[in-house]
Amino acid sequence: MVSQPYLKKGTWTINEDQKLIAYIMRYGIWNWNEMPRFAGLQRSGKSCMLRWMNYLRPNIRRGNFSREEEETIIHLQKELGNRWSAIATRLPHRTDNDIKNNWNTRLKKRVISENDKSVPASTTEIYSSVEENSPDADSSSLLNIPTTADFPEPSTCSQGST
DNA sequence: AAGCGGTGCAACCGCTTCTAT
DNA sequence: CATAGAAGCGGTTGCACCGCT
């Protein structure tokens, strides 16, 4: 495939986020592979999908997992294994990637060490006030989205939306 | 004050599954 | 029913930041 002469990688910029959000708000999601071109992004469809799913979607809550959330993750991980998307469905405002990261970086170690010591969880005091963030503070609300951006019409690509 | 090591987060890659033709 | 394309999932890697020596 040589549909893209150059595909940017690495950290997304605010400008790229704005373009993607504005495009999806205006035209919706119709084809991840084609959308980046119309949105004026030098990104792969996969990269756009990942960015949207994990950070730009509305009602996403990131960081500062509450004690309840972490215990839920631990419990579900025992039940379901590493089915992060399944676990994420039980935590509506969390993404599978965020849950996976939290597990890999924190919870796994904690569970292992607790199992090793075979003592009740002494983690309660670790959590202080971690309930500060709200779903309202999702990423998109922090961006100044140009909702009237003049994107080319996706219909020119013979897509079949509705 | 500088360097080193550890931790956590964001993103990419490859594989699998699902849907349409 | 088979094949191709798109989407989704999980594992892994790289980078940035923070704390310690």
CA of A109 to C1' of B5 (A): 18
| Tokens coding A42 | 């030098």
Query: Which nt has its C1' nearest the CA of A29?
Result: C7
CATH topology classification for A67-134: Arc Repressor Mutant, subunit A (1.10.10)
Q: Decide whether A14-58+140-157 matches A67-134 in CATH topology.
A: yes
3-class state of residue A147 by DSSP: coil
A98: nearest nucleotide, CA–C1' criterion: B9
Q: Phi-psi category of A161—alpha, beta or left, where left has phi over 0 and alpha has psi -120 to 50?
A: beta
Which nucleotides of strand C lie under 7 Å from a protein CB? 5-12
Domain boundaries, given as residue ranges, for chain A: 14-58+140-157, 67-134
Question: Per residue in A28-54, pLDDT tens?
Answer: 998 998 999 999 999 999 999 999 999
Q: What count of Cα atoms within 13 Å lies in the side-chain half-sphere of residue A20?
A: 30
Confidence (pLDDT) at A59: 82
pLDDT recorded at residue A49 = 93
Q: Is the dihedral of CA A19, A36, A102, A90 positive or negative?
A: positive
pLDDT at A2: 41
Q: What is the fold of A14-58+140-157?
A: Arc Repressor Mutant, subunit A (1.10.10)
Q: Which residue is nearest nucleotide C16, judged by alpha carbon to C1' distance? A: A11
Which nt has its C1' nearest the CA of A101? B9
Q: What is the pLDDT along chain A (162 residues), one digit of tens a residue?
A: 444 457 888 889 999 999 999 999 999 998 998 999 999 999 999 999 999 999 998 888 877 888 888 889 999 998 888 899 999 988 878 999 999 999 988 888 777 777 666 554 444 444 444 344 444 444 444 455 555 445 766 654 444 333
Interior CA angle at A156 toward A153 and A159, to 5°? Answer: 100
Cβ within 7 Å of nucleic strand C, residues: A 29-34, 45-46, 49-50, 53, 82-86, 96-97, 100-101, 104
Q: From the alpha carbon of A51, which nucleotide's C1' atom is closest? A: B11
The pLDDT value given to residue A6: 77
The three-point CA angle A19-A14-A40 to 5° equals: 25
Q: What is the pTM of this model?
A: 0.77
Q: Which bases of chain B come closer than 7 Å to a protein CB?
A: 7-14, 21
